[in-house]
């Protein structure tokens, strides 16, 4: 099923994220590391993209630059129609709070706040009105309707990550960025989290960008973008677990080839 054609969404097909020749290095001189090397990609609204590549290939840097959490050295990032480059930190923070949701591997919940309080925190931080009914509905959708007054340490890892997803979705963001969201979860919990991310894209038209090194997780996405040595080295539509695993195993060859042709 292709959600961009079956969904009656006026936003469908609209560009949601564009990176144009984005480069980013860390350090200087002989110790400099090129984390991203002229990365160009664009993503229509409502799509679910997985980013894969070896450890150190630049996946998290790509996510951080795309989300405006980090500033590229060169190139342009446009999120939901707005340029992220050349804006003040304050403007970026405001933009992120309204339009972007984040999910991290380690949940990043506040231990002294309840499930409900953690969920509505982004609304409080941006001084938006807290719609209690809506927040409770989202918690019910992620399967935590009966856990709203629990504290994070009373929950399993999978439940904590579902709180993190509710928190990411509570502002109704246009984009959701997730960095290894299933990295700390068992298979069953991982599947719940992946279904929720897929639904965010397919049912709610949100654009989802997920970094993962798990071919099973990647198979939930509409397509996979492969990264090696900071460069995009391939893209796979309608990924299957086997095809993704196969491609990952041969990523080294692709890199060698890219270096030979100087791409």
Return residues touching ligand ADP (CB under 6 A).
Answer: 26-27, 33, 35, 53, 55-61
**Sign of the torsion formed by the C-alpha atoms of 222, 205, 39 and 101:** negative
In the complex, what is the shortest distance from the CB of residue 36 to Mg ion, in angstroms, rounded to a whole number?
12
The helix (run of H) or strand (run of E) holding residue 177 is strand 175-179
Per CB under 5 A, does 114 bind Mg ion? no
140 contact choice in Mg ion, ligand ADP, none (CB below 5 to 8 Å, kind-dependent): none
Out of 60, 119, 207, 212, the only residue in the binding site for Mg ion (CB under 5 A) is 60
- Give the separation between CA 55 and CA 65, rounded to whole angstroms: 17
Burial of 47 (0-12, 13-18, 19+ CB in 10 A): buried
- Give the separation between CA 53 and CA 95, rounded to whole angstroms: 29
In the complex, what is the shortest distance from the CB of residue 123 to ligand ADP, in angstroms, rounded to a whole number?
29
In the complex, what is the shortest distance from the CB of residue 64 to ligand ADP, in angstroms, rounded to a whole number?
8
**Sign of the torsion formed by the C-alpha atoms of 209, 214, 218 and 220:** negative
Cβ nearer to ligand ADP, comparing 193 with 251:
251
Rg (CA), the chain: 18
212 contact choice in ligand ADP, Mg ion, none (CB below 5 to 8 Å, kind-dependent): none
In the complex, what is the shortest distance from the CB of residue 211 to Mg ion, in angstroms, rounded to a whole number?
6
Cβ nearer to Mg ion, comparing 180 with 222:
180
In the complex, what is the shortest distance from the CB of residue 60 to Mg ion, in angstroms, rounded to a whole number?
3
Q: How many residues bind to Mg ion according to rule CB under 5 A?
A: 2
The helix (run of H) or strand (run of E) holding residue 78 is strand 74-79
**What residue ranges bind Mg ion (CB under 5 A)?**
59-60
């Amino acid at each position: 099923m292709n959600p961009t054609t079956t969904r009656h969404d006026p936003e469908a097909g609209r560009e949601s994220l564009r990176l144009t020749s984005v480069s980013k290095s860390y350090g200087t001189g002989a110790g400099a590391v090129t984390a991203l090397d002229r990365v160009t990609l664009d993503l229509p609204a409502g799509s679910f993209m997985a980013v894969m590549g070896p450890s150190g290939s630049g996946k998290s840097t790509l996510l951080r630059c795309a989300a405006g959490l980090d500033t590229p050295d060169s190139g342009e990032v446009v999120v939901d129609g707005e340029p992220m480059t050349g804006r003040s930190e304050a403007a970026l923070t405001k933009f992120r709070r309204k339009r972007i949701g984040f999910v991290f591997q380690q949940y990043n919940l506040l231990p002294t706040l309840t499930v409900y309080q953690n969920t509505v925190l982004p609304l409080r931080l941006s001084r938006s009105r807290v719609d209690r009914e809506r927040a409770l509905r989202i918690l019910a959708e992620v399967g935590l309707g009966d856990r709203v007054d629990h504290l994070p340490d009373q929950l399993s890892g999978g439940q904590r990550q579902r709180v993190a997803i509710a928190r990411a979705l509570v502002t109704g963001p246009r984009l959701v960025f997730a960095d290894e969201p299933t990295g700390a979860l068992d298979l069953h919990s991982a599947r719940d989290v992946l279904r929720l991310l897929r639904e965010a894209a397919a049912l709610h038209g949100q654009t989802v960008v997920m970094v993962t090194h798990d071919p099973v997780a990647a198979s939930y996405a509409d397509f996979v973008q492969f990264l090696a040595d900071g460069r995009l080295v391939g893209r796979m539509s309608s990924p299957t677990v086997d095809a993704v695993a196969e491609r990952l195993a041969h990523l080294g060859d692709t890199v060698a080839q890219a270096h030979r042709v100087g791409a």
